[in-house]
């Protein structure tokens, strides 16, 4: 979106330019990953066959845990909001509707939806909790109850003690989700955006533009696409893709960079950022917020995690191959179309 807006590309033009490079990168990535893990896949298939899982030979007590959607209406409404958001993002590219307006509206709508369903569900669970005092609560109800307090002395009605007063307190799922947000990652990315603005204000964008200007002057268009994509991907992997994309867009649109360059050279330099911002973070786990969140979620769920070095050893060579293939296709498109 950042590069598309800089180049004034509509949604359709963006797909035309980057659809084929994305497809080529996907095929390359899948093929190389398959070659890397083909032995492990063979061992896994053999283990499945020996366990005879297909025949239902599973011992008692080893049934797999099944996660069921607790609120179908809320889930359906959430998916509907997502689809409407995607449609508005597509339409917005034609009518001039800013991305941040659509995204902010979708976020606020989703939060209001979650709060409403949360209140309704908590009221229902309170009623159920009070209504089944003489019966043991179900497992789902036990998971939702935080505290059930009983008064020390029961009130008297007509000289006789009444039933104990039950005061159930139900957990708020929305508040729980807000508390579990990894705020430290958000603060880290926010600081990176501040650093980008600081570089712009202090004039470092011009110095960077002067340095990058030497690359298209000394190379052909095809070599420019590959070199720019690899260089920008390395920057994305080290500095995080979102703030670095904003930084490099400003660099490539600066007068110190665009002077004496042809429109084709400028377009290739800017378009290479799309490839770099999407494939560059695959070189290092820290290259994108998604990688950091994935690692954090895996640790919180006590899952076996992949180390930074293992990720780099497997993903970096594959990512570099994908970047080269997609860059060659992109350069051919820009030159011929």
Q: Quote the pLDDT of residue 149.
A: 44
Domain-by-domain residue ranges, the chain?
5-9+21-33+182-336
Residue 292: other Cβ atoms inside 10 A = 19
- Output DSSP code: residue 280: G
Residue 59 is predicted with a pLDDT of 44
Q: What is the pLDDT along the chain (337 residues), one digit of tens a residue?
A: 677 777 777 777 888 889 999 999 999 999 999 998 887 776 655 555 555 544 454 444 444 444 556 678 888 999 999 999 989 888 887 787 888 899 899 999 998 998 898 888 878 777 665 555 445 555 554 554 444 444 444 444 455 555 544 455 556 777 777 777 777 777 877 888 898 889 888 989 999 999 999 898 878 888 999 999 999 999 988 888 888 888 999 999 999 999 989 999 999 999 999 999 999 988 988 787 777 777 777 777 776 667 788 889 999 999 999 999 999 999 998 888 7
SS (H, E, C) 60-100: CCCCCCCCCCCCHHHHHHHHHHHHHHHHHHHHHHHHCCCHH
pLDDT at 306: 74
CB contact at 8 A, 276 and 323: yes
pLDDT tens digits along 69-107: 667 888 899 999 999 998 988 888 778 788 889 989 999
Q: Which of 275, 283, 294 is nearest to 24 (CA)?
A: 275
pLDDT digits (tens, 9 = 90+) for 238-297: 888 888 888 999 999 999 999 989 999 999 999 999 999 999 988 988 787 777 777 777
Q: What is the pLDDT of residue 57?
A: 47
**pLDDT given at position 95:** 81
3-state DSSP call for residue 147? strand
pLDDT for res 147: 44
Inter-CA distances, 21 with 12, 28, 69, 243, 275, Å: 15, 10, 37, 23, 8
pLDDT, residue 224, reads 92
Kindly provide the b/e burial profile for residues 40-49, where b requires at least 16 CB atoms within 10 angstroms of the residue's own CB.
eeeeeeeeee
């Amino acid at each position: 979106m950042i590069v598309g807006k800089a180049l004034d590309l509509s949604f359709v033009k963006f797909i035309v330019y980057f659809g084929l490079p994305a497809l080529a990168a996907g095929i390359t990535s899948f093929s190389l990953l398959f070659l890397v893990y083909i032995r492990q896949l063979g061992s896994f298939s053999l283990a499945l066959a020996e366990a005879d899982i297909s025949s239902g030979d599973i011992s008692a007590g080893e049934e797999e845990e099944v996660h069921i959607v607790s609120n179908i209406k809320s889930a359906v409404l959430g998916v509907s909001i997502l689809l409407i958001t995607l449609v508005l993002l597509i339409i917005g590219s034609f009518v001039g509707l800013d991305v941040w307006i659509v995204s902010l509206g979708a976020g606020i709508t989703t939060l209001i939806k979650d709060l409403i369903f949360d209140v309704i569900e908590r009221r229902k669970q309170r009623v159920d909790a009070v209504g089944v005092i003489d019966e043991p609560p179900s497992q789902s109800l036990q998971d939702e109850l935080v505290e059930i307090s009983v008064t020390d002395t029961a009130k008297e009605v007509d000289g006789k003690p009444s039933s104990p007063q039950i005061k159930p307190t139900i957990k708020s799922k929305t508040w729980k989700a807000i508390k579990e947000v990894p705020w430290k990652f958000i603060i880290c990315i926010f600081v990176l955006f501040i650093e980008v603005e600081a570089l712009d204000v202090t004039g470092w964008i011009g110095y960077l533009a002067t340095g990058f200007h030497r690359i298209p002057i000394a190379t052909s268009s095809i070599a420019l696409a590959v070199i720019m994509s690899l260089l920008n991907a390395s920057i994305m992997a080290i500095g995080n893709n979102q703030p670095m994309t904003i930084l490099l867009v400003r660099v490539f649109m600066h007068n110190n960079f665009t002077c004496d360059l042809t429109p084709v050279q400028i377009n290739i330099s800017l378009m290479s950022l799309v490839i770099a911002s999407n494939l560059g973070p695959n070189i290092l786990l820290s290259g994108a917020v998604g990688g950091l969140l994935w690692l954090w979620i895996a640790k919180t769920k006590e899952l076996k995690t992949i180390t930074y070095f293992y990720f780099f050893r497997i993903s970096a060579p594959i990512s570099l191959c994908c970047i080269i293939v997609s860059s060659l296709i992109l350069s051919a498109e820009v030159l011929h179309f």
